Amino acid sequence: MVMFSDLQCKKCGYQFTKKSSLVRHSKRCSDGLVQNLRQKACQECSSSKTRCDLKRPSCSRCLQRRTRCVYRTAIAIQDVGSGVGSITPIPEPSSTTTIAVPHIGPMGAASNIANHPVSREAIDYTSSILSPDNISLTPLLQNVAPFSSILDPMLEFLDSLRVSPHSDDQPPPGGLSALPSIRTTPILTRNSMQLLLRVFRTWPRMIAKGLQMPPILHSMQLSDTTTLPIRLVNCFTLAKMWDGQCDGASNIVCVAIKKEVQALFNEYRNLNKTDLVAALQAMALYTIMLLFPSRDHSSVTLLDTNFGLQLKHFITYVSTTGLILPEETNHIRPTWYAWINITAKRRAALALYLIYWSYSVYHCLPTFGCRDLGFMPAPAAKYLWLAQDKNHWESLYNRWLSQWDGADLYQWEFSNIIPGIRMDSRVELWLEDADEFGILLLAIINATQREPEFQVISL
């Protein structure tokens, strides 16, 4: 029997368990250095088993995910004590990406974490990247035996952190220095995210099927196809392409959607009220289709940072054009057509916030807050939204006004709901009349807390 002590490299001291491994190693080992490493990908891409483009100092995937990019390289370790050395992979130094080890207090809590800028390059936001993985710092520290008693208490904490480099000219949303792993997101928040994404990905299919529409589209908008806004015509066409695409054709559909998205970003400030609502509705549906490039896509595509910034500008502009009618403020009945337009506008804006929030939770990214929408009324009653003619709607609206003594429910009031089976009487009154869109919104109340707390984009 060959003893393990006989299976040791004479040059670098590396220990092997099989003679064949030692023979192969000896052919490549020169003065204690292994000339070629099998692993050329960075540690992040290698751990998640995805393709790495090998760009230095940071690959495109790590730049896009704002994670620390570390390439493995071999160095010779001097013999210590027993004279047995080892080949220890260490991170290649980078002048643009730095991780700071936080100070660990008596209770093991971190008091500070810092990062430095890294150059960024434009990335196509239609590229598909799977759900995030942790970057583990344990392999970098586990070989430092003399300091194990000091480092061991820190390993669990360090493995839960992900450092986010940013650039001065294009900061990531919120300008955060650390992003959590999906494992640190509260379970209830993850469940809320999954619920929203499961529902949203059905909306393009509903359009393609043609039997009913997503709850952000009103039947009156579709009653006369000859007057349907061109933005919705294009959106419906692309939704049918998305739903009926053949295997491998997702890139063609994504390119077409991308062109429409950019066209909307370029023109929304010049649109009239009706076309602006149609553009907002189309943007919500386009965003869903970009997150899921094909109907069978099982993960959420990572979008370009610039897309989120432009989307935020878009929604902010929409909020400045008015999200509530003067008649609603005065608690009187508006015209049916004006009510349809403003209600569809509010629903589309809120849907975009929810879509981007769920996307941000999935990829452990900061999102923008929805305070701009806090002053607008909560989603309209189901019987008002589904009313098919003007006279019927006016009768129902009068009855709806009579049950609300004073102002109706506003979005900001949802933030006051506390956990439990009972709610404020005003919220319960609203819930009695809510449709599926309102139920979807209520389902995530008390289930949106993020850890750690993210800052919102300030524009």
Contact criterion met (CB below 8 Å) for 204 and 243: yes
Contact criterion met (CB below 8 Å) for 70 and 39: no
Q: What is the pLDDT of residue 18?
A: 74
Q: What is the pLDDT of residue 37?
A: 52
H/E stretch holding 131 reads none
In a domain, 173, yes or no: no
Say whether the peptide bond before residue 452 is cis (omega within 30 degrees of 0): yes
Mean pLDDT of 126-148: 39
Say whether the peptide bond before residue 93 is cis (omega within 30 degrees of 0): no
Q: How many CB atoms lie within 10 A of CB 309?
A: 17
Query: The tokens 């589904």 sit on which residue?
Result: 386
In whole angstroms, give the CA distance from residue 135 to residue 384.
50
Bigger pLDDT: 74 vs 375: 375
In whole angstroms, give the CA distance from residue 185 to residue 66.
17
Q: What is the pLDDT of residue 184?
A: 67
Closest alpha carbon to 336 in 402, 380, 272, 377: 380
Q: What is the pLDDT of residue 346?
A: 96
Helix, strand, coil percentages in the chain from 3-state DSSP, rounded to 5: 50, 5, 45
User: Hey, what are 443's tokens?
Assistant: 């389902």
Bigger pLDDT: 453 vs 366: 366
Provide the domain limits for residue 419: 185-443
Q: What is the pLDDT of residue 357?
A: 92
In a domain, 451, yes or no: no
Q: Which of 167-176, 236-245, 427-436 has the lowest mean pLDDT?
A: 167-176
Q: Total structural domains in the chain? A: 1
Question: What number of helices (H) and strands (E) belong to the chain?
Answer: 17, 6
234: CB partners within 8 A, 6+ apart: 260, 282
Closest alpha carbon to 131 in 456, 447, 359: 359
Mean pLDDT of 1-8: 61
Q: Is the pLDDT of residue 169 over 70?
A: no
Residue 365 gets the label, from left (phi > 0), alpha (psi -120 to 50) or beta, of beta
Distances 396 to 80, 219, 222, 331, 337 between C-alpha atoms, Å: 85, 17, 22, 15, 15
In a domain, 178, yes or no: no
pLDDT-based confidence at residue 123 (cuts at 50, 70, 90): very low
For 138-159, write each residue's pLDDT tens digit: 444 444 444 444 444 434 433 3
Q: What is the pLDDT of residue 19?
A: 79
Q: What is the largest CA-CA distance in the chain?
A: 95
Closest alpha carbon to 156 in 181, 174, 192: 181
pLDDT-based confidence at residue 12 (cuts at 50, 70, 90): confident
Mean residue pLDDT across the chain: 75
pLDDT-based confidence at residue 200 (cuts at 50, 70, 90): very high
Closest alpha carbon to 454 in 175, 194, 115: 175
Q: How many CB atoms lie within 10 A of CB 291?
A: 22
Contact criterion met (CB below 8 Å) for 363 and 301: no
Percent of the chain with pLDDT over 70: 68
In a domain, 201, yes or no: yes
For 207-247, write each residue's pLDDT tens digit: 999 999 999 999 999 887 678 899 999 999 999 999 998 87
Q: Is the pLDDT of residue 375 over 80?
A: yes
For 246-290, write each residue's pLDDT tens digit: 877 888 999 999 999 999 999 999 999 999 999 999 999 999 999
Which of 56-65, 94-103, 365-374: highest mean pLDDT? 56-65
Contact criterion met (CB below 8 Å) for 94 and 43: no
Q: What is the pLDDT of residue 30?
A: 56
Mean pLDDT of 79-83: 40
Percent of the chain with pLDDT over 90: 42
Closest alpha carbon to 32 in 53, 49, 8, 56: 8
Q: What is the pLDDT of residue 407?
A: 79
User: Hey, what are 262's tokens?
Assistant: 């950019």
pLDDT-based confidence at residue 161 (cuts at 50, 70, 90): very low
Q: What is the pLDDT of residue 95?
A: 39
Q: What is the pLDDT of residue 315?
A: 92
In a domain, 292, yes or no: yes
